[in-house]
Copies of this chain bind each other. A is one copy, B any other.
């Protein structure tokens, strides 16, 4: 991960050393998985000593938590902004899918860690992240419900539809590679079209 990417992902993390450790941890977790990565691996990849890591994070799980919470918080903030920007549920859903898919493609390495290492979080940290996930999912459900009430969407089950919408976006991080034939933005547009049709919208 480049310094610019780490700055973009974690603009609020200070000092730079903490951000560098998070970037190194993302690469290690993505390559070997959380459990096979040691704090020494992370520190070494960040060009630091293991002791220096503990200045910023009390344990390996604290690095994972910082990465996971930040990723989930960003998703929630993104949905909140999209919902606030336009009262129209169709426009809101389109913007949401475009951004959600583009983020999971652009940031596929960190997204894989954020989405697939949830089980490695300690219980209290897991609850914090689970709460962010629930709030995000609830906002997506609310958009679908508003669309159904306005006659723009028609779905048999709002919860299942929200799961499918989120799942489509999350799955992008599993297979997307920088060499993909579509840019993240193009893929976001295409997926938004597919999602709107899935929700029963007829332009």
Which residues does A use to contact B, with CB under 8 Å? 31-36, 115-116, 119, 155-157, 160-161, 163-164, 167-168, 170-172, 174-175, 182, 187, 190-191, 193-195, 197-200
CB neighbours (8 Å) of A33 from chain B are 32-36
Cα of A36 to Cα of B38 in the assembled complex, Å: 10
B116 to A194, Cβ gap below 8 A?
no
Q: Which residue of B lies closest to A163 (CB)?
A: B175
The count of identical subunits is 2
Q: Which residue of B lies closest to A200 (CB)?
A: B197
User: Other than the known A33-B34, A115-B174, A197-B198, what 15 A-B pairs have Cβ atoms closer than 8 Å?
Assistant: A31-B119, A33-B35, A160-B187, A160-B191, A160-B194, A163-B175, A164-B191, A167-B171, A167-B172, A167-B174, A170-B171, A170-B174, A171-B174, A197-B197, A197-B199
Known contacts A167-B167, A194-B161; is A174 also within 8 Å of B32 by CB? no
A-B contact pairs, 21 of them (CB 8 A): A31-B119, A32-B35, A32-B36, A33-B34, A115-B174, A116-B116, A116-B174, A157-B190, A160-B190, A160-B194, A161-B194, A164-B168, A167-B167, A167-B168, A167-B171, A167-B172, A167-B174, A167-B175, A168-B168, A194-B198, A197-B198
Cα of A167 to Cα of B191 in the assembled complex, Å: 12
Cα of A31 to Cα of B119 in the assembled complex, Å: 8
CB neighbours (8 Å) of A164 from chain B are 168, 191, 194
